[in-house]
Amino acid sequence: MNFVKMMKWGKENTIISIAMLLLLIGIISNIYVHATKSVASSDFIEIDGKKLSVNEIFSAYESKTIQNVITKENYTGISLEDIIKLAGIKNPETYSYTIIGSDGYRKTVKWEDMKSGILTKNLRVVFENLPKAYMVRNVVKIEVVK
């Protein structure tokens, strides 16, 4: 009889331990998501080593609306071409650009794509002719690829 009680007690402890582990994983995930959002809501985007204020970017140019031909959705934001020019990149058509999100997600695009892309208010890059996989969220950096 004592052995049966010990076995039952062991199963209960195992279940409680698993539940606590899952709760701990949930708490850590929540902290990570909020930390990522804090970084994403940064006031600057680094472009080829130069930090541009998000306010500066959105006050320097008028927003435009584009439609992604694949998703058929409309997006409004500042032209990536204008942002690259604001950063002072000389001969921008001779480079490719790697766009990096706060979570480390990155996509490299050609100048032709940059000319048809925008940066939305929530810092998401959207392109007219590229699939959703190229819509980097929470952009923190744009690298010039030589």
Q: Same domain for 114 and 61?
A: yes
Looking at the fold, whether 29 and 100 belong to one and the same domain comes out as no
- Number of domains, the chain: 2
Q: What angle do CA 65, 69, 71 make, to 5 degrees?
A: 95
pTM attached to this predicted model: 0.70
Q: Which two tokens stand for residue 11?
A: 């199963």
- Mean pLDDT (the chain) is 88
User: How much is the pLDDT for 43?
Assistant: 87
CATH code at position 76: 3.90.420.10
Structural domain boundaries enclosing 7? 1-40
Dihedral angle, C-alpha 84, 51, 77, 124, nearest 10 °:
110
Helix (H) or strand (E) holding 135: none
Two tokens, residue 85: 């020019």
- Quickly tell me which residue has 């490299």 as its tokens: 108
Same domain, 102 and 34: no
Residues facing residue 119 across a β-bridge? 78, 125
Give pLDDT tens digits for 38-87: 444 458 999 999 999 999 999 989 999 999 999 999 999 999 999 999 99
